[in-house]
Amino acid sequence: MLNRRLYILFTKQRPLSRLRTTLAGIIVVVCLLLAQNINAHLAPPASPKAFAFAADSIFYGHYPFIRFIDAQEDAGLVRLSDEDFLDKAGKVVFKINRYDVFTNDSLLRLLESEIIPRINKDSLRLRRLIVRGASSPEGPVPNNRMLGRRRSETLTSFLRARLSVPVDEQNFSTEVVTEDYSLLLVMMERAGDPAVGIVRSLCDRHLPRYEYTILKNKLKQLQGGILWRHLLKDYFPELRAARVVLVFDKPAEPTIPEVPETPEALPRRRRAAPANPWTGAAAGSAGD
């Protein structure tokens, strides 16, 4: 009889015990979520992050003819080989026997609309302005010398009329190349031109003695004039140009201002989490 009563009591109490256990678990989970939410609101907000980039790595980095040096460096020691100058200098190509600037030139449009306004806005200090005006070898030597000088002056005047930043006259460099054989040889080498050897040999023989006319006459005689016509068509147009490299002081890295903390951002004393009604322990505490 006693066993039967115990059985009935056990079977009737077991579902109620399961229900209490389930409800207790639900309440614990809810309390934990509430505690996490309270902690998140009490924690100080994360400081806003500011990302700074050096000016020359974003905008100016797209233009190889704009270079930067440290303020303590001597701008007068900046040197460029013929290959570097061919690769990095900004180039304005002129029509044959002309030295006036045409506003439809792509470099001039870029300088006037984007680059120079940005330079003026950033107040960069121009340390060195290297301008190289040249001509192609066809035509009389005195006329080619005049073309190289006028082309250099034209590009220089264009830049100086638009730059509002001061120019260090001590490091202002203008080079006039009467007939640009050095760039001619660089271009021929890069093109893998088989005639570069004979052209270089003649240049090495006559240019040190400024024998421009003799050099041109010998080039015209090679291969019955075929080589000269080849040079005239494929290389000379690129030599009728003025090229420029601008050297500036490296701009200072922008500083990131510290954001002052507001009273709302200061940490507050955490409130005690609600107690578990079943165990009496604080929510989130370890238990069986």
What confidence tier does 20 reach under pLDDT thresholds 50, 70, 90?
Answer: low
**Partners of 248 in the β-ladder:** 68, 126
19 and 96 part of one domain:
no
Counted domains in the chain: 2
Domain that holds residue 208: 62-249
| Residues β-bridged to residue 241 | 93
What is the mean predicted confidence (pLDDT) over 48-72? 69
CB 180 within 8 A of CB 136: yes
* Pair (17, 132) in one structural domain: no
Q: What is the mean pLDDT of the chain?
A: 77
Q: Indicate whether 86 and 14 sit together in one domain.
A: no
- Confidence at 91, pLDDT banded by 50, 70, 90: very high
The predicted-structure confidence for 107-163, as pLDDT tens digits, reads as follows 999 999 999 999 998 888 888 888 999 999 999 999 999 999 999 999 998 998 898
The answer to whether position 92 is within a domain reads yes
pLDDT for position 57: 58
- Percentage helix, strand, coil for the chain under 3-state DSSP, each rounded to 5: 55, 10, 35
| Within-domain flag for 260 | no
- One domain, residues 87 and 222: yes
Please compute the mean of the pLDDT values over residues 252-259 and round it to a whole number: 59
Q: Is residue 174 part of a domain?
A: yes
Asked if the structure places residue 281 within a domain, the reply is no
User: How many CA atoms, within 13 angstroms, populate the side-chain half-sphere of residue 34?
Assistant: 14
In a shared domain, residues 34 and 96: no
CATH of the domain at 187: 3.30.1330.60
Is 274 within the bounds of a domain?
A: no
pLDDT at 76 over 80: no
pLDDT greater at residue 45 or residue 196: 196
Quick check: is 262 in a domain? no
CA distance 124 to 127: 9
Model-level pTM? 0.65
Do 121 and 19 belong to one domain?
no
One domain, residues 36 and 123: no
Separation of alpha carbons 136 and 241, rounded Å: 9
Q: For residue 153, count other CB atoms closer than 10 A to its CB.
A: 16
Does the pLDDT at position 218 exceed 60?
yes
> Which of 249, 264, 280 is the last residue in one of the domains?
249
Mean pLDDT, rounded, for 177-193? 93
Query: Is 46 within the bounds of a domain?
Result: no
Instruction: Provide mean pLDDT across the span 40-44.
Output: 50
pLDDT at position 172 is: 75
Residue 187: pLDDT over 90: yes
Same domain, 12 and 126: no
Judgement on whether residues 30 and 68 belong to the same structural domain of the protein: no
Determine the pLDDT at residue 51.
36
Residue 172 DSSP SS3: strand
Is 189 a member of any domain? yes
- The verdict on 147 and 76 lying in the same domain is yes
| Mean pLDDT, rounded, for 245-258 | 72
- Determine the pLDDT at residue 262: 59
Answer yes or no: do 117 and 215 share one domain: yes
Please indicate, yes or no, whether residues 166 and 196 belong to a single structural domain of this protein.
Answer: yes
Instruction: Measure CA of the first residue to CA of the last residue in the chain; give whole Å.
Output: 36
According to DSSP, residue 96 is labeled: T
